[in-house]
Structure 1
Amino acid sequence: MTARRAALAALLAACAPTARERAPMHAIPSPVARGALPPIPFVDGPLALDVVYPPEGASIPPVPRTFVFGSTGSGRARLWIQGVRVPVAPNGAFLAFLPLPPDGVWRLEAERAGIRQRVERRVRVERPAVLRSTGGLEVWTETVEPRGDWALPEGAPLAVGVRASAGADAVLRLADGRELPLEPRPAWARVEGFGPERAERLAELADYRGLVPAGAALRGAALVLRRGPDRLVVPLPLRLELWPAETAWRAHVLGRPDDGQALATPAPPPAAPYHWLWPTGTELVVTGRREGAWRVRLVPGLEAWVDTAWVRRGLAGAAPPSAVGAVRLQPDSEAVVLRVRVERRVPFHVEADIRRVRLRLYDAVARTNWAYEGPADPFVAGLRWEVGPGPTVDVVVDLAEPLWGWRAAWTSDDALELRLRRPPRVDPARPLAGLRIAVDAGHPPLGATGPTRLREADANLAIARRLVRLLRADGAEVVETRPDTTAVPLTLRPVRATRAGAHLLVSIHNNAFPDGVDPWAHAGTTAFYYHLFAADLARCLQRALVHALGTRDLGVARADLALPRTSWMPAVLTESLFLMLPDHEAALRDPAVQERIARAHRDGLLAFLRQRLGGGPPCAPAPVTRQAPMPRPSRPPSGPS
């Protein structure tokens, strides 16, 4: 289990209510306002106890509570899990949120008309790997860093750290006997992503951190903790390949097979969001390697990490900073092209807001004398260049009309062309007419499954097909990234939308929770964007969905997701309902609710177009749904007799 999951488990344990505080399962209301979704239809089939989650042998983090869901086959059935009475929905579905069984075995018993069925589900509860001394010192061994295969030039800085008992003296003991002290810092467990961010101080633990130069003495090094007479020694799990000092390699982006891009992160893998998107031909300076990723130097003090499969390493040695020559804007009917002359195809970053685009060229120096705005264009308000921090050059384009998207490519004569897409021209009376809309039915592969085994991919496709019909009726041309049940690779979906020249992209999903998150406390509706110029589209879709469904408004969020990362158009991923809740799953089976969700997506697209292109109000958050207070139990539910 990773350190992050262990920390999550610790925080959830600290925040979990006691049994006396917890309402019985049948008394916990759904987050959907009363009457917002149709009642769950009644089903009275034969007793058939089916546990959807967890599957047999599932690995569960050590959270204090988690969910179990499935179906009994009948709304007349009664159900107990671990001796606790669990409500059964009219269609036979159930969802429980209960303490993890100490022995790792969930025991379920269902009864209908005198017939009983019992099912057991064995799970493996993950525990943090802890090394303890006889005196009580402990180290969370999976937090020891660095670990695995690394390659670095000699003398390059390398972060060292570990989570261990508080109040200890921690040092890194090198193979030559030298000891380098590590600084203690407070240890925190954090929960992010569902509901408000929460943090809990882990008073008995501390994070010990330091920075050391890469060298031969790290081979065979160990972390040593001392507290009084007690001592604990943990070998550093590092396999280090040393390069001569200041070693660097030139490399060229090959890109992914689907779109020719390489995506780079600001921190080593595995857990870091993508921040840079580089087209084929971009030249990089490689200064290290870790577990399948190259370390790339952008400027001194700033590095990126990129998958080794997307890059071809070339000649040894780094090139001098690239001179940036003339910059110019060249208009065409679809976009204004920013053309930047450079000596070398350096890495770059594009920051694109609605009215301003900033192109930052790394490892570059300004030799720019001419900045051509070109002929007067209603889309452009101004062009300028600036010397950025370090050896960087910024080229800034101010826009008089809203940016609709961008994409970058290298030309054969080593110029970077950044296409800035104009807003489409629409009919105010029929905003969708003539536009090309990409509709993505999320999954497969992967996807959630509900208590009665409704697959998310099927629900998404049913909604998407209804949305396609509505959009075509309004005059739009529709690009379906997954028109049927055939699985479509995730990376291919945005490529299809971009190649088709879509003006908008919406990816339709329904949500699920990770273990340990209370599904009743955090269920609702949300929409995700990646690029700033797509944030208003997320807000408009979010408002329309919350208004149509009456769900809790979880708000919009920026997230590093494959479909919203599409840069050639505003792109948003929606999560309308939570498939694991019985009433949400039943609603997603209902053709009338599918139609309601599809219409909400259509309405959100219309609201965005009216707002962005003039004449429409901003998409403010929907009014908050008021709910009845949660009732408190008078006594705990009893087990089966």
Structure 2
Amino acid sequence: MFKKIICITIFCVIACAPSSLKTKSDGAPKIEVIYPGKKQQVNAVDSTFILGNVTPGSKLYINNYRIAVHPEGGFLAFLPLVPVDTGWFVFQLRASNDYGDTTLEWPVKLPEPFKTVPLDSLAILSDFNLPARYQELIAGDLLELSIRGTPLAVAQYKITGLTDWKPMFEISSMIQVPGSETIFGSENLRDSTIGTGVYRAGMFMPSDTALDSADIIFRLCKIVGNSPSDSGLLECVEDTVESILSLKKYDFPQVVELIDSVQTIRHGPRKGYLSIYQPKGVRFIADGKYNNYVRLDLGPGQAAWIPDSSIIYLPEGTPAPYSEVKYIRTFAMDSVTRVSTYLDMMLPYRVEFDPKAGRVGLLVYYVTSDTDWIRYDTDDDLIDYIVWSQPPANVYRLDIQLNENEIWGYDAFYEDNVLNLDLKKAPKEVVNIEDLKFVIDPGHSRDPGSIGPTGLREADANLAISRKLVQLLRDKGAVVAMTRTGNENVELHERPEIAVRENCDIFISVHNNALPDGVNPFENHGTSTYYYHMHSKPLAEHIQRKLVDKLEMGSFGHYHANFAVTRPTQYLSVLVECTFMILPDEEARLRGEEFPKKCAEAILEGIEDYLHSLD
């Protein structure tokens, strides 16, 4: 599942028909490897799994290990990796039955080990130089530098037009955070060293200099000579990173504006989200750049990042984004309570929800408070009170205290320069599914998702469960839509758009699971649920409990997860991974009628338990 929704490397794998089969007779068993692909890189170090199928009734050996074969022919093995000098590993498969033997060689590429430089040489490994991407900085910014090379040497750096040679310091060992086994495996986080020869330094950018595309030169030196007469000689190597750094001095604020309808601002280039769904027309002050990401100054100690393709730079001299807030007003509507903040222009914002406190926070940047008036709609029973604060300068915060701890989502949007925050109320008859609006999302379509050992596509398994769930919900009187009803292709971004268009109350995305390379599937499996926003967490917990009980399998966990289909804020959204279809037994259950029905029933019962918990 993980390649299909987020960027962990795995499992949208095309079944590879073996090309190197050698059979003794036409009746000899067939072998098909589903995963990993032939000559594919496997992102594991010491062990990984291989899955596929053989002719039912065959005996199977892989690298001389006897492998269990399911009655329908599927197999799954978790085996040690012993790389050869070239970085390749070969699975040697042999299947046999009464009619003969079949052998198959299945090579996979292993990750390159951490590179170290021998002590008796002198070199800088250019691929590991930092910074490695163009940066624009301003006075006071911290520039971090790093190289890898020969251990126990003397390292220095120089920035053309800015510094002479400055020292760098060797870090004798460095922590390497384990990969996906940390979150999806059964073991705790382990520290490991990745070798010596790592040198680092840092410096704050000065205020009295400007640079334009300066070079950074790294130098590594060591003493050479085998006798007292030449023991003071230095041998050095240098490596230059060209046109890598600019140091800017701005006379005017660099004002930028979003040019796309929905954008996400991040804590760092390609890092975690600071705020999502920023609309077209919102303005920021830009004050730096890293490769193709622009840094946004949101106020004291608060920076954000956005791709440069998402913005335009406004003409020099454009006034900096700024507004004062004089008035706040609430409006009671049929299904939402609206909080309106009156601004002079469209400015960036962030919404926070604390379900324990029953409080919603709205932060608006580049704003100073002049708020003397907050008008409450007397017909509203959702909001208790609202208070404003100015945590740092230029950041305006509203804390909206609710009369109850539950909301069913929220939607923030602009109407002209008015920032509206719609808080979705729970339905009046919350214990009754009747008349609730659901969108059921069978995960994947053109993208098959995970593939089981005998070739079952996850997209098909998801659709079978989803159809049964839809029928159960409709039998209860619910209004239900599906993101797809067959094998038509529905892009990932279209699925939440359908949910918003249908004005749904609850969105359930149905999936079946797989694992990243290197994680033992015999130790790490079960059923799991995923949410992104806090208002969806209780629903996910109730569904998880019912899945574990109804399916009589272990829990693989309950997760906060940043998936495209769980990210929207306007409704309750949960993604369900019913089981691990890479396990032969589980794939066989998914092919039947009873297990998909049980999955659907468990999801329905979880929804009902959640609704009763609100009574």
Question: Shared fold by TM > 0.5?
Answer: yes
What are the within-5 Å matches in structure 2 for residues 6-405 of structure 1?
47-74=29-56, 76-103=57-84, 104=88, 105-128=90-113, 130=115, 132-135=117-120, 142-153=127-138, 156-162=141-147, 170-175=155-160, 177-182=164-169, 184=171, 187-191=174-178, 192-195=182-185, 196-202=187-193, 204-205=195-196, 208=200, 210-213=202-205, 216=211, 219-224=214-219, 233-236=238-241, 239-240=244-245, 243-245=248-250, 248-255=253-260, 260-269=261-270, 271-273=271-273, 275-316=275-316, 319=320, 321-354=322-355, 355-401=358-404, 402-405=406-409
In structure 2, the residue matched to 1:38 is none
Cα gap change, 1:466/1:554 in structure 2, threshold over 3 Å: closer, same or farther?
same
- What value does the CA root-mean-square deviation take over the aligned residues? 2.9
In structure 2, the residue matched to 1:407 is 411
Conserved 8 A contact 1:437-1:476: yes
Separation (CA, whole Å) in 1 of partners of 2:28 and 2:474: 43
Separation (CA, whole Å) in 2 of partners of 1:551 and 1:476: 29
Conserved 8 A contact 2:114-2:195: no
Q: Which amino acid aligns with 2:581?
A: L
SS state at 1:433 partner: coil
Pairwise CA distance, 1:375: 1.4
TM-score (norm 2): 0.84
Separation (CA, whole Å) in 2 of partners of 1:87 and 1:521: 16
Conserved 8 A contact 2:528-2:555: yes
Conserved 8 A contact 1:529-1:538: yes
Deviations 1:110-136 (A, max 9, x none): 111132112222222220463625537
In structure 1, the residue matched to 2:514 is 512
Q: Which amino acid aligns with 2:35?
A: Y
Separation (CA, whole Å) in 1 of partners of 2:194 and 2:53: 42
Conserved 8 A contact 2:45-2:111: no
In structure 2, the residue matched to 1:30 is none
In structure 1, the residue matched to 2:232 is none
Q: Which amino acid aligns with 1:125?
A: L
Cα gap change, 1:252/1:127 in structure 2, threshold over 3 Å: closer, same or farther?
same
SS state at 2:112 partner: coil
Q: Which amino acid aligns with 1:407?
A: D
Separation (CA, whole Å) in 1 of partners of 2:411 and 2:393: 25
Pairwise CA distance, 1:202: 1.0
What are the within-5 Å matches in structure 2 for residues 515-534 of structure 1?
515-534=517-536
Conserved 8 A contact 1:62-1:126: yes
For structure 2, the 5+ residue unaligned runs are 1-7, 10-26, 225-234
Cα gap change, 1:136/1:92 in structure 2, threshold over 3 Å: closer, same or farther?
farther
Conserved 8 A contact 1:173-1:180: no
Pairwise CA distance, 1:221: 1.4
How many pairs align? 562
Cα gap change, 1:416/1:66 in structure 2, threshold over 3 Å: closer, same or farther?
same
Pairwise CA distance, 1:268: 0.9
Separation (CA, whole Å) in 1 of partners of 2:472 and 2:30: 39
Conserved 8 A contact 2:512-2:577: yes
TM-score (norm 1): 0.81
Cα gap change, 1:232/1:328 in structure 2, threshold over 3 Å: closer, same or farther?
farther
In structure 1, the residue matched to 2:17 is none
Out of 402, 418, 421, the position equivalent to 1:418 is 421
Pairwise CA distance, 1:602: 0.7
Separation (CA, whole Å) in 2 of partners of 1:91 and 1:458: 18
SS state at 2:76 partner: strand
SS state at 1:145 partner: coil
Conserved 8 A contact 1:129-1:142: no
In structure 1, the residue matched to 2:449 is 447
Conserved 8 A contact 2:211-2:248: no
Separation (CA, whole Å) in 1 of partners of 2:140 and 2:175: 31
Once the two structures are overlaid, the 10-residue window that deviates more, 595-604 or 383-392, is 383-392
SS state at 1:555 partner: strand
Q: Which amino acid aligns with 1:391?
A: N
Separation (CA, whole Å) in 2 of partners of 1:323 and 1:156: 29
Separation (CA, whole Å) in 2 of partners of 1:132 and 1:592: 59
What are the within-5 Å matches in structure 2 for residues 550-569 of structure 1?
550-569=552-571
SS state at 1:587 partner: helix
Pairwise CA distance, 1:450: 1.1
Separation (CA, whole Å) in 2 of partners of 1:112 and 1:526: 38
Percent identity of paired positions between Structure 1 and Structure 2: 28
Out of 569, 572, 577, the position equivalent to 1:570 is 572
Separation (CA, whole Å) in 2 of partners of 1:245 and 1:427: 56
Pairwise CA distance, 1:157: 3.5
Cα gap change, 1:486/1:141 in structure 2, threshold over 3 Å: closer, same or farther?
farther
In structure 2, the residue matched to 1:628 is none
Separation (CA, whole Å) in 1 of partners of 2:387 and 2:304: 27
Cα gap change, 1:190/1:156 in structure 2, threshold over 3 Å: closer, same or farther?
closer
